[in-house]
Amino acid sequence: MKRRNFVKTAGLASAAGLLSACRSQTSTATDCGPGQAGGKHEWKMVTAWPRDFPALGTGANRLAERIGQMSGGRLTVKVYGGNELVPPLEVFDAVESGTAQMGHGASYYWKGKVPAAQYFAGVPFGLNAQEMNGWFYYGGGLELWREVYRPHGVIPYPIGNSGVQMGGWFNKEILSVDDLKGLKMRIPGLGGEVLARAGGTPQNIPVAEIFTALQTGTIDATEWIGPFNDQAAGFNQAAQYYYYPGWHEPGTALEVLINQAALEQLPQDLQHIVQYACQASNLDMLSEFTARNGESLQQLREAGVDIRPFPDEVLQELQRISLEVLEDMTSNDELSARVYASFKAFFGKVRGWNEIGEKVILNMR
Q: What tens digit of pLDDT does each residue of 335-352 get? A: 999 999 999 999 999 999
* Pairing between β-strand 154-161 and β-strand 253-259 as defined by DSSP bridges: antiparallel
Q: Are 84 and 45 in contact (CB under 8 A)?
A: no
pLDDT at 221 over 80: yes
* Pairing between β-strand 184-186 and β-strand 221-222 as defined by DSSP bridges: parallel
3-state secondary structure of 219: coil
Residues pairing with 168 in the sheet: 243
Q: How far is CA 75 from CA 91, 264, 270, in A?
A: 21, 13, 7
The pLDDT value recorded for residue 332 is 83
pLDDT at 2 over 50: no
Q: Give all strands of the β-sheet with 184-186 in edge-to-edge order.
A: 201-203, 184-186, 221-222, 168-170, 241-244, 306-309
> What's the full length of the chain, in residues?
365
What mean pLDDT do residues 126-154 have?
98
pLDDT at 361 over 50: yes
Which of 22-31, 182-191, 203-212 is predicted with the least confidence, judged by mean pLDDT? 22-31
What's the pTM? Answer: 0.87
Nearest partner of 354 among 198, 134, 172, judged by Cα: 134
Gap between the Cα atoms of 112 and 96, Å rounded: 15
Residues pairing with 308 in the sheet: 243
The pLDDT value recorded for residue 92 is 98
Q: Are 257 and 155 in contact (CB under 8 A)?
A: yes
What mean pLDDT do residues 232-246 have?
97
What mean pLDDT do residues 133-140 have?
98
pLDDT at 24 over 90: no
Averaged pLDDT score across all residues of the chain: 91
Q: What is the DSSP letter of 257?
A: E
Other CB atoms within 10 A of residue 240 CB = 12
The pLDDT value recorded for residue 356 is 94
The pLDDT value recorded for residue 81 is 97
